[in-house]
Structure 1
Amino acid sequence: MARDEERIWYAALKAKDARFDGHFFVGVASTGIYCRPICRAKLPKPENCTFYTTAAAAEQAGFRPCLLCRPERAPGTAPVDASVALVHRAKVLLEENCGSGLSLDQIADHLGCTGRHMRRVFSAAYHVTPVQYLQTCRLLLAKNLLTDTDLSVIDVAMAAGFGSLRRFNDLFKSQYRLAPTALRRQSSSAKSRDNAIVLALGYRPPYQWRQMLDFLAQRAIPGVETIIDGAYLRTVHLVGSEQQHVYGWVRVGHRPENNVLTVTVDSSLLPVLTQLLARIRHLFDLFCDPHAVYEVLGAMNAIRPDLCTLGTRLPGCFDPFEMAVRAVLGQQITVKAARTLAARLVATHGAPVATGIAGLTHAFPSPQHVITLDGPIDGHLGPLGITGARARTILELARAMAREEIDFTFGAEPEREMKKLLAIAGIGPWTAQYIAMRGMGWPDAFPETDFGVKKALAPRSAKEISALAETWRPWRSYATVNLWNSL
């Protein structure tokens, strides 16, 4: 590592600068522990510090995670360029599937490359093998569960993706020099209660939580999503590693004093916990570095004071099909009208979910449900007020998702996937850009024909808006959200 980079990272560590949280970890030779740059422990001497870009690299070097700053809570890193690198997509898939039992060859196949190629590029980028990275993801999730929940050790081992309790115990002791039960005894954290699991996911401050909740509240689908007491709640339907369908609910709150979102998970969702947490990170944009975004978009405030707010996040999605259908329903009508149509669709075709929470009654219909409806799709969706053209577009989207012909997931290659979307009748540039923005988490989408964008930048012409947006690259999605919020 270059000496100048080490000097910058040590300065960030000394300042406990949250903007660097998740960008690097520091191994301290005098303690054998590795920390986040925001750790409140006594500042180590420079000669005792070794810097790593991932927690996995620090662990492979022989360091164990700090019990004070808890590296498992560190936020991730966001892709900056429009075409997400293979290695980043591999990293995201490893994190999301660390508890699923999915093999590395299966992940490589999903990425469209060989397992050998994935291992080569991953090791070159992160200085650890995919197996080592996967192992660290599982260990850090297990550590989080041991510290913050009352789950049994065997439940923790299974949820984190270990095939057996013995292997979990051996690996945990080997890496952390501590038995899982000993770690639990040391923890003084409040534990989960009432048949639910409570975990914390870190972010880089500041975070405009109220803005995010307002955005989601305006678009919340009745029966599926709701906002209660400053928190976001929704139903969940996920498919486990053995193709079992799992239903439940999740609540996401905010703890600004700790720079974390609190995630309360129905215990029925334990078999799909890693999938669930990955989707929450995407929905609430926990990979974002707000200062990096604001460094480019702060110039928007020359157009109008406070047009761009530091800490604005890009609302992602929890269910790509749900969000894509919502985008189709929202074409050329108001947000409120689209919400009404989505509510009718859920009430008629959604799967009932017993949550015990007012306003959460159904999971959004799956692509498989839509494509198995008998007869013309117009006959099923037409009575709900959905036009025939939009009904047929929804059916084609469902077919594409069921066949895995289009990759809507976070980290997909947006230009390639948008071309596939535009080939579907009824999907134009606005819809494709919106799906790329929220479904794929693409930071540089720009729906220039959007009514809200044009209204926020009036009286500029379309040509002037397009030229102005070029100065906002690679964060045009964040610029769009700021423009919407300004209205």
Structure 2
Amino acid sequence: MEIRTLPLDKTACYDAMRAHDSRFDGRFFCGVSSTGIYCRPICRVKLPQEKNCSFFPSAAAAEAAGYRPCLRCRPELAPGLAPADSFARIARSAARIIETECLADQKIVDLAEMLGITDRHLRRIFLSEYGVSPVQFLQTRRLLLAKSLLTDTSLPVTEVAMTAGFGSIRRFNDLFQKRYRLAPSRLRKETESGLRVADSLTFTLAYRPPYAWNELLSFLRDRAIPGVESVTAEAYRRTAAIRKGDTVHKGWISVSPAPRRDALTATLSMSLLPVLPQALARIRHLFDLDSDPAAVQEKLSSMAALSPHLPVAGIRVPGSFDAFEMATRAVLGQQVTVKAARTLATRLAASFGEKVETPFAELCCTFPLPERVCGLEPVADHLGPLGVIGARARSIQALAQGISSGSITLSPHADAAQEMAKLLKLPGFGPWTVQYVAMRALGWPDAFPDTDYGVKKALATLPEGKRRELPKTWSPWRSYATISLWNLLSTTKE
């Protein structure tokens, strides 16, 4: 099978390796012929000779060429890539689905159908973007997730294999031995990994620095739903309810900065193990860990015309852990304050969410799933007593019905333009709400709610012509510009 082995300039890649430049982390991987091992650009082992280096666009391409992952820099921890052009977006949408679901019960043909393309076209654009076929990429993602579980947890090997999406322990052992030339149990013995407490799992999730953690945490703090979410000076915590088949797995997560590393530490309750790939993908999306801050900073440089404090280095767009929850809160926030919307969302969770046990006194319930809201008939009679007006109650139920039926997909791997068009047809979903949902649930980097009061206020000091033209220069990163404008107003107010 064809493998694209050298998509980047070899000299430039080697220079990035020599500098341990974190901006290139996850953009390419280096295979070293003298050791048979592949590394991230930031690896701190002795720099190999340039003649021994080959460069690959993905970890899967390096493994397909016969290289084993470095046990020191751990390629499974490298950040991903945000979508850019249309072909790249389709390929990366496919990669997101693979990373999220591990396709335990699906085939590549099913994946192509989900994306609305043929499996032949999927293989072609996937090869162009990642240097390997979707099947090879899937195998590598499963192996790297298993490697992370073996290194960072004390889970039995059989449970590791099942969690990573392998149908059998024999298949897992055979592929692990073939790719990494050692048995899974040996990897656990050869790494210095402390055992985790029985009721939780902890992972390291890398990002490209800089990272404006305080700004993102402040945004989440203002919108946190008591009982469901909790934000302290150092951590974001929340409950979780993730459906897999007919079962809803409930639990909790806690996320905080990793000391002295360009990464976040994510701890999850053991109850979320059956949906671990989905939970980790949601955390990555919520904290926008695949962002390219250098590209964003360069494009938003003209924001300095508004304030010397702009653009903020490492600004991130807060995504969503629960897309229905976030979109519902957006509807509740129409024409009311952030605080008022938060109050309504709190009442909704307390009334129709489910109780869940957590080690945190402030977290006690999950946000209601779409199926629960679909069953509230007539919906206005159920939500009205909570203070939700009839029109918004019907908007929330229409959204719940769309998500439950599968006619609406609020996910970073969905086609943003198509889903935005569907949302606009729902009752009560105007341009502002749709742009906001696209920004946070769909992960659309170029959303721009130009009718937003805060956006208009932040641009008010500019001449009329400049107000129209300046935002165009921020594309395709206008979601980041929007967050920056809101942060600017919040800082000015303080």
Output one character per residue of 1:355-407: Cα deviation in whole Å (capped at 9) or x when no partner.
Answer: 13112111111111111123x21101111101111011111111111111122
Shift of 1:414: 1.9
Partner of 1:316: 319
**Are 2:45 and 1:50 equivalent residues in the alignment?**
no
Partner of 1:346: 349
Aligned length: 485
**Are 2:82 and 1:78 equivalent residues in the alignment?**
yes
After superposition, the Cα gap between the structure-2 partners of 1:100 and 1:253, relative to the gap in structure 1 and judged at 3 Å, is farther
Output one character per residue of 1:25-63: Cα deviation in whole Å (capped at 9) or x when no partner.
Answer: 000001100000000011111110000000000000000
Partner of 2:446: 444
Give the counterpart of 2:421 among 407, 419, 422: 419
Does structure 1 conserve the Cα–Cα contact (< 8 Å) formed by 2:104 and 2:167?
no
Does structure 1 conserve the Cα–Cα contact (< 8 Å) formed by 2:100 and 2:281?
yes
Give the counterpart of 1:474 among 450, 458, 476: 476
Between 357-366 and 460-469, the greater mean CA deviation after superposition: 460-469
RMSD: 1.7
**Are 2:370 and 1:367 equivalent residues in the alignment?**
yes
How does the TM-score come out when normalised to structure 1? Answer: 0.96
Stretches of structure 2 lacking an aligned partner (at least 5 in a row): 490-494
**Are 2:260 and 1:248 equivalent residues in the alignment?**
no
Does structure 2 conserve the Cα–Cα contact (< 8 Å) formed by 1:29 and 1:48?
yes
Does structure 1 conserve the Cα–Cα contact (< 8 Å) formed by 2:349 and 2:365?
yes
**2:18 alignment partner, SS class:** helix
Partner of 2:461: 459
Whole-Å Cα distance in 2 between the matches of residues 348 and 292 of structure 1? Answer: 44
What is the identity percentage for the equivalent residue pairs of Structure 1 and Structure 2? 54
Does structure 2 conserve the Cα–Cα contact (< 8 Å) formed by 1:99 and 1:274?
no
> Where do 1:117-196 residues align within 5 Å?
117-196=121-200
After superposition, the Cα gap between the structure-2 partners of 1:236 and 1:100, relative to the gap in structure 1 and judged at 3 Å, is farther
Output one character per residue of 1:170-196: Cα deviation in whole Å (capped at 9) or x when no partner.
Answer: 111110011111111111133321411
After superposition, the Cα gap between the structure-2 partners of 1:84 and 1:27, relative to the gap in structure 1 and judged at 3 Å, is closer
Shift of 1:84: 6.5
Q: Which amino acid letter does the alignment assign opposite residue 270 of structure 1?
A: L
Output one character per residue of 1:215-240: Cα deviation in whole Å (capped at 9) or x when no partner.
Answer: 10100111111013511111111112
Output one character per residue of 1:103-124: Cα deviation in whole Å (capped at 9) or x when no partner.
Answer: 3232222212333432333234
Output one character per residue of 1:83-120: Cα deviation in whole Å (capped at 9) or x when no partner.
Answer: 86322211111111116433323222221233343233
**1:415 alignment partner, SS class:** helix
After superposition, the Cα gap between the structure-2 partners of 1:218 and 1:462, relative to the gap in structure 1 and judged at 3 Å, is farther
After superposition, the Cα gap between the structure-2 partners of 1:366 and 1:101, relative to the gap in structure 1 and judged at 3 Å, is same
Does structure 1 conserve the Cα–Cα contact (< 8 Å) formed by 2:374 and 2:400?
yes
Partner of 2:387: 385
Partner of 2:492: none
Output one character per residue of 1:195-222: Cα deviation in whole Å (capped at 9) or x when no partner.
Answer: 1111111110111111111110100111
**1:34 alignment partner, SS class:** strand
Whole-Å Cα distance in 1 between the matches of residues 163 and 467 of structure 2? Answer: 48
> Where do 1:395-410 residues align within 5 Å?
395-410=397-412
**1:257 alignment partner, SS class:** coil
Stretches of structure 1 lacking an aligned partner (at least 5 in a row): none
> Where do 1:46-125 residues align within 5 Å?
46-81=50-85, 85-98=89-102, 100-125=104-129
Between 96-105 and 197-206, the greater mean CA deviation after superposition: 96-105
Give the counterpart of 1:234 among 235, 238, 246: 238
**Are 2:351 and 1:334 equivalent residues in the alignment?**
no
